[in-house]
Amino acid sequence: DDLVDVCYRHRAPKRQRVVLKVYPADTDGRPTYFSPESLKYIMGATMTGGGSLMIAGEPDEQTGLLHALNTLFYPDHVAIPETNAEIIKQYNEFDAVMYGLTHGKNVENLKLEFGLPGVFSRAFDASTGTGGCISVTLLHVGDQWAWNKRLATPSPLVEYEIAIPVPSGKHPTRVFFGSPDSDVLALPVALDFEISSGNIRCKIPRLDIFGTLLIAYEAAH
């Protein structure tokens, strides 16, 4: 939750994007590298807050394998496992797809009050004047909030029903959901939705660790 807040609250007022540097040595017990689950939570928490994560490192001259810095002091670095390198690639590609929706010059923080048990969320508004898109980033933590002390990854939320209040002055027209944790959802897919009692209601196909709900809207007349 600290990573989320750092990114979310320190973007204003100039809307400059926060870039975090997190090192493997920051984890309890100083492992050789982040576990795949911890890496997803670090990247997901950063993106939930509207920031980005820098993996500080460089290719090894002899093997060509990508290495991450363990501390600021060269050559204290460790090889990034192939699984983790793929996670970094997937999350960065998804983050690039979200440019202009969760981050960018036209994106503002949006206060959107709603509760999701076991899910940390933030909202952003990319307005075009006559319409725009609300992005709701979702970080699935279950009942364990400390990524570096996690005992087990919570079970995925499948066909998870969600209700989000319709912001004043906006008329939702389409809803999408995407996640870097799934090849099927790497590009956001359209969802069926309804508006009931002032809420946008839909079912998220699958939320493992991180995902983004996109709500396209027209300005209400």
pLDDT tens readout for residues 65-109: 656 666 655 555 666 778 888 998 899 999 999 999 998 888 888
Residues in the chain: 221
Three-state SS string over 186-210 comes to CCCEECCEEEECCEEEEEEEEECCE
**pLDDT at res. 112:** 87
What is the DSSP secondary-structure string of 15-27? TPPPEEE--GGGS
**pLDDT at res. 149:** 65
Short-list 77, 84, 72, CA closest to 61 = 77
**DSSP code of 99?**
B
pTM: 0.85
**pLDDT at res. 221:** 65
Query: By the 8 A CB rule, do 167 and 110 touch?
Result: yes
DSSP element (H, E) containing 48: helix 36-48
**pLDDT at res. 61:** 62
**pLDDT at res. 213:** 97
Q: Which residues of the chain have pLDDT under 50?
A: none
d(C-alpha 49, C-alpha 170), whole Å: 23
**pLDDT at res. 69:** 63
Query: By the 8 A CB rule, do 107 and 125 touch?
Result: yes
